[in-house]
Each structure stands twice: as structure tokens, then as C-alpha cells.
Amino acid sequence: MTSRVPASTLPLSYPEHVRQLLEIEIVEGRLAAGERVSEDQLARRLGVSRTPVREAMRVLEGHGLIVRRRGKGTYVAGATSTAEARALYLLRAPLESFLAAQAAETITGDELEELERLSAAFRVAVAEADAGLPRLIEADSTLHWCIYDAARSDLVSVVRSYWGRLLRELYTRVYLEGPPEHFADQHDEIVAALRERDADGARSAMERHIVDGWEVVRASFEAADDANGP
């Protein structure tokens, strides 16, 4: 099936359209880990010039989803190992918890209102997961980024550097196994702390959320290892 960038349906630039389409294909595995990707082929398939594809690929490289190998070409980043996933979550817990605490002090009324809307939207997406996993992933990701952007910290660039790779792991090791209904409750706890301007509460709630996420991911790795045998 050929995906094409809609010409006038979204108020985003062509590179952002292309980035979103390619990110979804990578996260869902339609562009497989280790697969070589060609700017020319992608441009033809998506019905755009090479320029937005090149810009989108540069962003995806920064997000850890694309790797460029000198003299060999451009590839989808390889599969994440158990050790790499553990290291990622060891980084996530203190960093994203810190950003949540910062957000408790800097979030605006409009941002808080938007965050509450996103939390409700995630709960609906969980309840209607059969309608499409991409919607669920987008709802989860958008909610987290509303918090991190509200922190107004330069450290968000570190989160961006691994976010795409994280989404791929969440898709394959969490969302495909079933809707994470308890994630909705954890989101509500984070939002409640932010509403109260409770920095310590926001930090603790975010840390619990991420640690719980790691337990789900770890269990998926262990189940895969058991299925593959010794």
C-alpha cells in the first residue's frame, strides 16, 4: 500500500508530514529494524520531492530511528537489546521525573487545560484501542510532550534524542500486548500533581509511571527470550 502526503489537510510542513509518516512506519515495523532506506525511493512512494524526505530523515536520525553509515547508506536503527532498553529506562526515570517537577512550577493555565484534555483523550484511546494503535501511541506521546515542553528546560533535547526509539519499543512490547489501562490512571496522578503545583508529587508520579513502564517492557523481553528457548 502506498502512503502519500496529503496536500492540504494538515497545517504542518511537508518535512513534518513526511517525518510523521516515516516514524509511524518504523514504529509499526513496516520499515524494519536494519532495513536500508533510500531517499529517492521514499520520495517517489510518498509523492514528494527529495528535500522534505532529506529533512525528515535528519530529524529521525536525531530521534534515534535512523542511522547513517559512511559509504554504506542509511538504515533503520537496529532492534533494541534488553541491556539497551534497561539503560534507556535508567536514563528516563530521573530525567523525565525532573522535567515533570519543573513543569509543576512553570506550566501555564492553558497548558494545564490542554494536558487535562490529553489525559482524557488517552483514556478514550485505551478504551477504543481496537480502533487503531497509532492513535493510542500518539495520545500517549502528545501527553508526555505537553508536560516536558511545559518544563521549559533545555534538557528536553536529550529526551527527543531517544523518543522515537522509545516509541518503537512501546509499540512492540507494550501496546501490541494489550491496552495499558493502568497507564491512564498514572497519567491522571501526574496531571493532578501538576494541577496542585506539587513538584515533589509530580516527580514521584512520573517516576512511578516510568518504572512501571520498564517492568512491562522487561517482562516482554523475558517472554521473548523464553519463547526463543536456550
pLDDT digits (tens, 9 = 90+) for 181-228: 899 999 999 999 999 999 999 999 999 999 999 999 999 999 877 666
Domains and CATH numbers, the chain: 14-76 (1.10.10.10), 82-228 (1.20.120.530)
Q: Residue 9: what pLDDT?
A: 37
Residue identified by cell 530523515 is 57
Q: Find out whether 47 and 92 touch, Cβ atoms under 8 Å.
A: no
| Predicted local distance difference test score (pLDDT) of residue 10 | 38
Cell representation of residue 51? 528535500
Give yes or no for a contact between 167 and 65, defined as CB atoms under 8 angstroms apart. no
Under 8 Å between Cβ of 180 and 216: yes
Res 105: pLDDT: 98
In the three-class reduction of DSSP (H, G, I as helix; E, B as strand; rest coil), residue 73 is classed as: strand
The segments of the chain whose pLDDT lies below 50 read: 1-11
Of 76, 94, 64, 67, residue with least CA distance to 214: 94
pLDDT confidence of residue 170: 86
Strands (E), 14-129: 36-37, 66-69, 73-76
